[in-house]
């Protein structure tokens, strides 16, 4: 049995017919007619209300009521670290309690008084 040489690489390109491109109309599944129009996409961005150190007037995204947020203030990590540094440098003379009296050293949590949902937090 004699072995035949493999066909040349351009063998298939010479003997195969070229496929003809076909245009297929786009069909809208809700409309049986061919459609060429594009339906616009409308996106509504949520309204963002900045949360401050004090209570904020806003519309609750959960219950859709206009409210004045309820705030809960807790000492932040910055207040504890500042207090520790003051205690180590100045000594314990009461000065280390100053960061706990400053509003800028508190984390503020905002909640809805109507439904009780958590709305956000402002960190110090």
CA distance 52 to 101: 17
- pLDDT score recorded for residue 30: 60
Predicted pLDDT at 4: 78
φ/ψ bin of 52: left (φ > 0), alpha (ψ from -120 to 50), beta (otherwise): beta
What's the pLDDT score for residue 70? 94
4 sits in which H/E element: none
Question: Per residue in 96-112, is it b (16+ CB within 10 Å) or e — as a string?
Answer: beebeeeeebbbbbbbb
Low-confidence ranges of the chain (pLDDT < 70): 1, 7-48
Tell me if residue 59 falls in helix, strand or coil: strand
Give CA–CA dist 69/86, Å, rounded: 34
| Cβ within 8 Å of residue 106, ≥6 positions away | 53, 73, 74, 75, 76, 79, 124
**What confidence score (pLDDT) does residue 124 get?**
81
The per-residue pLDDT for 43 is 62
User: For residue 67, what are the β-bridge partners?
Assistant: 58
């Amino acid at each position: 049995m004699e072995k035949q040489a493999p066909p040349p690489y351009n063998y298939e390109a010479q003997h195969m017919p070229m496929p003809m491109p076909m245009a297929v109309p786009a069909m809208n599944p809700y409309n049986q007619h061919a459609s060429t129009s594009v339906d616009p996409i409308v996106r509504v961005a949520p309204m963002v209300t900045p949360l401050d150190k004090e209570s904020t007037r806003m519309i609750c995204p959960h219950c859709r009521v206009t409210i004045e947020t309820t705030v809960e203030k807790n000492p932040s990590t910055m207040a504890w670290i500042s207090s520790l540094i003051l205690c180590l440098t100045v000594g314990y003379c009461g000065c280390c309690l100053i960061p706990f009296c400053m509003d800028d050293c508190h984390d503020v949590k905002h909640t809805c008084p109507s439904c009780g949902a958590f709305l956000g937090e402002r960190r110090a």
